Structure 1
């Protein structure tokens, strides 16, 4: 084999790691058109009698969404849940996003929407200008089984049975000065501990996360103060920063960031271990996307209207699809510590689903995620990947990224060729045997690395089924492609 061949060695005889389907989770926020005009659009011919877009629900079902995090995000640092329940809702002004909030989509609607999709609700509480009491009252509203104040309020609002919300988060990026009510290192740990204590006093069985970062200063202090109450720490990652200026980075620049999610996971794993919580506290990577959201500072209408630039279809290319694949590979490879990840967001802005007035577009990332949901098997097999690196300027990443999964019916070899123009030659060794022969595969690629889907061309990028046959023990993976190679048992 030549120097340009990547060798993938996977050996199930060394064991396997079960992974949590919550890794394929989702996130939605009260930002721009994610909720209003996205998944919720009363009066639309595409909506049901509750105002839920049925085409969006069907697309979420296609992705087999296991969990949805809501309502934020930055939004939640100025969200008070009690303003968005019951029959008499008054619009509020959300200081985090600097826009009016009608409060017509609140807790009851969110729970009903999750039931329609078939996913678990994950509620992130207000760790900004909210209080521990407000958080615990929200748990009582959702999960309270006695005839007490907030549980009775839920019943009066038409929901006699408790919602049974399992997943809860304390705060969102509370370390950042962009959050309403941001906290210092010294403040955060005790605040989380008190909030968690009160929430668990209402329902001891909830699974609880708190906002963290992959460094020792913030997260070590958090875990020392509150780790005994937590199941998860929440970390976030966006790698193409477009907050102020909407200039999405080119394909190769994006690919150079593709190994960074794994590095963030390793740093966070180290902090959890240093705090003495290995095997007790796991990672929820509960906001992730290649591209950050565009929302320039300011309250002027021009600044708010600039958020429409998030909808430009040409932004979401094979770079987004392959970065997403690389991210999911990193989570699966570290499934003993990462038990949830939530693409941010699911609908509109930078999400895999673009819902417009007349229908929806499945972006390149939708197809990438669906391939993982449909084809990754229950055990991750120990896998080594060795091969050439893709260079761009002073940086480089592995040209091919790969994970291998297995169940009783066979194996899936997941291959990502990041090279924009050249096919990748891959030699695959499974359980000590060089793989040869012809096998079924599904490939996601485009006519260029900058290919994208749009209203006019919704299927410019779509998966295709092929038969792959080796040439002298090597399989050729097309450029800028995600490949799921299926090997029956």
Structure 2
């Protein structure tokens, strides 16, 4: 195998558009994700807008967050939306049995979430309660949010202070029905999804994308059952337009399963096992896509990965049920691997949501009650990659690459993707080796190109992280990349991620 990576990018051959919604986020009522993360309350001394923490909003606006999923997750299937509307002092307290067994105040509810989305410039993805709720309850929530006339729920919304309806484009029909959402079989849930979706109406000018909850990882039984609820195998008919998307969830770990190993202090082999697990996302998307193609060859139904990311043991000294973990360069590379796969599968995969946005799992931001805020390495991958949003993917071919070996398996040391907006292109590259630099030569074919900007994200160790005392230990820096006879030439340090922005002639 070659000692360097040799790649061809065809700048003049357009692929599918990379939906900006592949860069979506997730905020669950879990630990300090909502409370102390997004929401500090109207009595807080920290800068806020009606209780929403403004430095968090400002940091996330720089990512161009396209959509935000809420209120769960597992919490969604025990959440009753009427508990979270009306005067806060009258809202009932409930037990959050999934995450820490704590008392939930319901101070952050529907109106607060919609205000947060407006501040972020993000489209709301509301996840309804199919597990412990009723069809009527979910139907009325849609009406409350989106109906413009004097219907009962529209009147209730006005009584609670909001005259005009909101636009809610994305609607989840429960969450993880195979587990915390009801321990259902695929066939039973498929019937329930059809029933609930039927009564989630398109009110006024609002049009819902109804998202059926699907598989854990590569459990294709769920995708098959849901597609059979919409279409017939090989009949070439358009799928029944009951729900418009199917989701799946995939979490990355170091080989032993989620919550099994620490976020820091890992070995080189543990780093490489994590890269191997992250790379498996490509196989899983391919498998779900193959099932969907058989029932829906024209691609009417979208595939959605609305929970993804790393899941390590909780930080020592924190509530284990709050899922707080440090984010390192290893996590950043897991994100870059996922985005490269998402770009390759953009024809069918049209939305994804990292778990989660603030203080939980693979977070963008860590906050403290005294006003501290840290941008994680994963945050920087999102920021460096935001030029891919709504861009046209470009086909590429890895002709040769060094490989990484772990436990007798081998995988390529390079992960790469590229896109164009017409006059510009963005190339994203990752070195998945923990200890070896990676010389790269990327032939740019079809159009003349010049380098506008090149940046790199790396550090002195694979478990380097940003903390409140060292907030910029891992941050983007200028990258030494050049053009040689129409080829992009650079050397990626170990455990690094880089982006190169190109001007095209």
TM-score, normalised with respect to structure 2? 0.88
Which secondary structure state, in structure 1, belongs to the residue aligned with residue 75 of structure 2? helix
Matched, 1:53 2:53: yes
Change (3 A) 1:208 1:4: same
Does 1:195 pair with 2:215?
A: no
Question: Are residues 1:16 and 2:15 paired?
Answer: yes
Question: Does 2:347 match 1:336?
Answer: yes
| Corresponding residue number in structure 2 for 1:354 | 366
The match for 2:290 is: 270
> Paired residue for 1:299?
none
1:471 shift after superposition: 7.6
Tell me how far 1:183 sits from its aligned partner.
1.8
> Is the CA contact (8 Å cut-off) linking 1:246 and 1:294 kept in structure 2?
no
Secondary structure of 1:13's counterpart equals coil
Q: Structure 1 residues 410 and 155 mapped into 2: Cα distance closer, same or farther (>3 Å)?
A: same
Residue of structure 1 aligned with 2:430, choices 388, 412, 416? 416
DSSP-derived class of the 1:354 partner: strand
Q: Does 1:235 align with 2:239?
A: no
Give 3-state SS (helix, strand or coil) of 1:339's partner: strand
Instruction: Judge which range, 225-234 or 325-334, deviates more.
Output: 225-234
**Which of 279, 304, 307 matches 1:259?**
279
After TM superposition, give the deviation of residue 395 of structure 1 in Å: 2.4
3-state secondary structure, aligned to 2:498: strand
Show the counterpart of 1:345. 356
Q: Could you say which residue in structure 1 is the equivalent of 2:29?
A: 30
Give the 3-state SS of the residue equivalent to 1:369 in structure 2. Answer: helix
Say which is worse superposed, 224-233 or 162-171, in terms of deviation.
Answer: 224-233
Identify the range of structure 1 (344-353 vs 404-413) with the bigger mean alpha-carbon deviation: 404-413
Which whole-Å CA distance do the structure 2 matches of 1:15 and 1:382 have between them? 7
SS in 2 for 1:37: coil
Aligned length: 476
Q: Does structure 1 conserve the Cα–Cα contact (< 8 Å) formed by 2:84 and 2:108?
A: yes
- CA shift digits 1:307-326 (9 cap, x unpaired): 46x445xx321110011001
Q: Name the counterpart of 2:464.
A: 451
Residue 14 (structure 1) shift: 3.0
* Contact preservation (8 Å) 2:387, 2:426: no
Measure, in 1, the Cα distance between the counterparts of 2:382 and 2:373: 17
Q: CA deviation at 1:85?
A: 0.7
In the TM superposition, what is the alpha-carbon distance from 1:408 to its structure 2 partner?
2.8
Superposed displacement of residue 238, structure 1: 0.6
| SS of 1:141 mapped into structure 2 | helix
Alignment of 1:69-468 (within 5 A): 69-87=69-87, 88-97=90-99, 98-176=101-179, 179-200=180-201, 202=203, 205-213=207-215, 214-226=218-230, 228=240, 229-240=242-253, 245=260, 247-248=262-263, 250-276=270-296, 278-291=298-311, 294=314, 305-307=319-321, 310-312=323-325, 315-350=326-361, 351-357=363-369, 358-374=371-387, 378-386=391-399, 387-431=401-445, 440-468=453-481
Report the alpha carbon displacement of residue 208 of structure 1 after superposing the two structures with TM: 1.1
CA–CA distance in structure 1, aligned partners of residues 452 and 124 of structure 2: 39
1:440-463 deviation line (CA, Å, top 9, x unaligned): 411111112121110010000000
Which secondary structure does the structure 2 equivalent of 1:258 belong to? helix
Please say which of residues 265-274 and 32-41 is displaced more in the overlay: 265-274
* C-alpha distance in 2 between matches for 1:438 and 1:182: 52
Q: 1:220, 1:274 within 8 Å by CA — same for their partners in 2?
A: no
The Cα shift of 1:434 comes to: 10
Provide Cα deviations, 1:164-190, integer angstroms capped at 9, x if missing partner: 2111010111112xx153322231111
Deviations 1:202-242 (A, max 9, x none): 56721110101144322211222256212211111111277
Deviation at 1:285, TM superposition (A): 0.9
Query: Is 1:484 aligned to 2:496, yes or no?
Result: no
Question: Structure 1 residues 438, 223: CA separation in 2 closer, same or farther (over 3 Å shift)?
Answer: closer
Cα separation, partners in 2 of 1:293 and 1:41, compared to 1, 3 Å = farther
**CA 1:37/1:198 → structure 2, altered by over 3 Å: closer, same or farther?**
same
Specify the SS of the correspondent of 1:158. Answer: coil
SS of 1:200's partner is coil
Distance, in Å, in 1 between the alignment partners of 2:47 and 2:340 is 35
Residues 66, 118 of structure 1: 8 Å contact kept = yes
TM-score (normalised: structure 1): 0.91
SS in 2 for 1:266: helix
What's the CA shift for 1:290? Answer: 2.1
**Structure 2: runs of 5 or more not aligned:** 231-238
Partner of residue 3, structure 1: 2
* Equivalent residues of 1:55, 1:359 under 8 A apart: no
Give yes or no for contact 2:11–2:447 (8 Å, CA) kept in 1: no
Superposition RMSD in Å? 2.5
Secondary structure at the aligned position of 1:134 is classed as: helix
